[in-house]
Structure 1
Amino acid sequence: MLERTFLHIPGVGATTERSLWQQGCENWDHLLADADRFTYGAVERDVMYEVIRRSRSALSEGRAAFFRYGLGMRESWRAFPEFRHRCVYLDIETDGGQTGASITTIGLYDGSEYTCLVKGKDLDRFPEIISRYGYIVTFFGAGFDIPMIQKRFKGLMLDQLHLDLCPTLRRLGYRGGLKKIERQLGIARGADTDGLDGLDAIRLWRRYTTLGDDGALDTLVAYNREDVVNMERLAEIAYDGLRTQTLLA
């Protein structure tokens, strides 16, 4: 879908993009091969050609950040397959507070390996780890996880493409929290974490820190792991659904 996308070009909206598809300009290569064949509304031909040329280079070089401002969070789903190899699914847990110091764990899943950074152990490794990725997937991360992380790691630049599944799935009719949507889609959780929520995550952390209950930490980590691992399937559903919706509109 990314190579069929023209929305990231300044001055191009959904109407112009659809017009290009209808003219037979279905992807970047079509435009690069014969830019004079198509009309672009108010956008100049040279601008279209140059941005698409740079887009092609950014994609081939794996520079996901190039598309960050042009796509924005609303259309970042379009780049999911192309940058899936540089993608990380991210979720934080907190002690219930609203400061950066309230973060207790940060879970990261890259499609094959899960890492949980824990306060008091290795949480400070986060800036180095996140720099390895070009595409971040969260659930309500724009409203919670990312602002909290930026409070904790002041000055940290997060220039990755960001797919927030909460508003993205809402466009397909899926509403509610992560666990509710998982149930709607038949995504199951393990017996040890099924039914747990954010309040339970706070209680588990308190048991770990006040009682030295390592089992509570293990359960908290297992809960966080399912949050991020399940996001991969949700991202696939979001991409497939919005691609169909966009192309058939």
Structure 2
Amino acid sequence: MLQESFLFLPGVQERTERRFWELGINTWDDLLAATHIPGISKERLIFWKGRIRLARHILDSEDGTRSMGRMLGTRNSWRLYRQLLENPRFLDIETTEYCNQVTVVGISDGEFYQAFVRGRNLDIARLRRALAGATCIITFNGSSFDLPIIDRNFPGVLPDVPHIDLRHVCAQANLRGGLKAIERHLSIRRADNIRETDGTDAIMLWYRHALGDEHALQSLIDYNAADVLNLKPLADMVIPALWNHVRHEKPLPFLPSAPRSIFS
């Protein structure tokens, strides 16, 4: 995806990128080899070639994907997904009512899940260790919810790496609404005991735990684990489909979902 993307070039938007592809300029190498692009000045073409060489140099550096993420911007950071799979972190949090306190932070590398629970093992040092070495952070609605709240409650914990917010990726693929609604639409399953649990239930489970109900805490952790672990199959399903739609103009393989609350 990345080597066929041109949106990081100054002045290039989706329309210009599409024109490149239609002219047979499919990769960075193709643009570097081009001697003339209709409607583009020689000076502009030379400038873009310099930016591509710079991008290649950046990618070879230690923080290459982070810098490329900045160049692509938040809307298009999903195009880095393949480059970021070496050591991703999928993340989701639970909070009390009105987001006053973080109760659970769930983190996974796509395979193993860790739960950090308020009053037990949730602290800055442990979160830093869990996020150390991450190539990216992947969330659902994390731009508006999870990451600002973590940053406020645990300053300095979040690594400076690309963030892919699957809520916005899904919206570009005509999949709108909350995580659970989109999961149902795409037949991504949850365990029976938490299938109908939602964000409001998660708040009540924490209050029940605070009153001494240990079963409630386990149910809350199970709910958070599903929120976290289902992010990878969601990304693996939606991102390639969106790329095929953007790059090859293939129809999206799923019908648009009905808009619902982002918390459902």
TM-score by length of 1: 0.89
User: Which is richer in helix?
Assistant: 1
| CA shift for structure 1 position 191 | 1.5
Secondary structure at 1:89 match in 2: strand
Cα distance between partner residues in 1 of 2:39 and 2:54: 18
| CA shift for structure 1 position 5 | 0.6
Does residue 233 of structure 1 match 2:242?
Answer: no
Cα distance between partner residues in 2 of 1:162 and 1:7: 17
Residues 131, 158 of structure 2: 8 Å contact kept: no
| CA shift for structure 1 position 40 | 7.9
Amino acid at match of 1:219: S
Aligned to 2:11: 11
Aligned to 1:130: 131
Amino acid at match of 2:118: K
Deviation string, structure 1 residues 60-87 (Cα, Å, up to 9, x no partner)? 4563211222222211111111211222
Aligned to 1:94: 95
Residues 106, 225 of structure 2: 8 Å contact kept: yes
| CA shift for structure 1 position 157 | 5.5
Aligned to 1:71: 72
Cα distance between partner residues in 2 of 1:31 and 1:152: 46
Aligned to 1:36: 35
Distance 1:157 1:108, change over 3 A: closer
Deviation string, structure 1 residues 148-178 (Cα, Å, up to 9, x no partner)? 1111123555432111111221222212111
Aligned to 2:244: 244
Aligned to 2:147: 146
Q: Percent identity?
A: 36
Where do 5+ consecutive residues of structure 1 fail to align? none
Aligned to 1:84: 85
Deviation string, structure 1 residues 186-217 (Cα, Å, up to 9, x no partner)? 11111221111111111111122221x32222
TM-score by length of 2: 0.84
- Residues 198-213 of structure 1 aligned to structure 2 (within 5 Å): 198-211=199-212, 213=213
Does residue 119 of structure 1 match 2:121?
Answer: no
Cα distance between partner residues in 1 of 2:73 and 2:21: 21
Aligned to 1:47: 47
Cα distance between partner residues in 1 of 2:114 and 2:57: 32
- Deviating more after overlay: 229-238 vs 20-29: 20-29
Residues 20, 40 of structure 1: 8 Å contact kept: no
Residues 66, 162 of structure 2: 8 Å contact kept: yes
Does residue 56 of structure 1 match 2:68?
Answer: no
**Number of residue pairs aligned between Structure 1 and Structure 2:** 245
Residues 35, 49 of structure 1: 8 Å contact kept: no
Cα distance between partner residues in 2 of 1:132 and 1:170: 29
Deviation string, structure 1 residues 2-37 (Cα, Å, up to 9, x no partner)? 1101101222212222222233221123334x2535
Secondary structure at 1:26 match in 2: coil
Does residue 162 of structure 1 match 2:145?
Answer: no
Secondary structure at 2:164 match in 1: strand
Residues 5, 27 of structure 2: 8 Å contact kept: yes
User: Alignment RMSD, CA only?
Assistant: 2.1
Amino acid at match of 1:237: M
| CA shift for structure 1 position 127 | 3.0
Deviation string, structure 1 residues 36-77 (Cα, Å, up to 9, x no partner)? 354683673343223222322343456321122222221111
Amino acid at match of 1:180: A
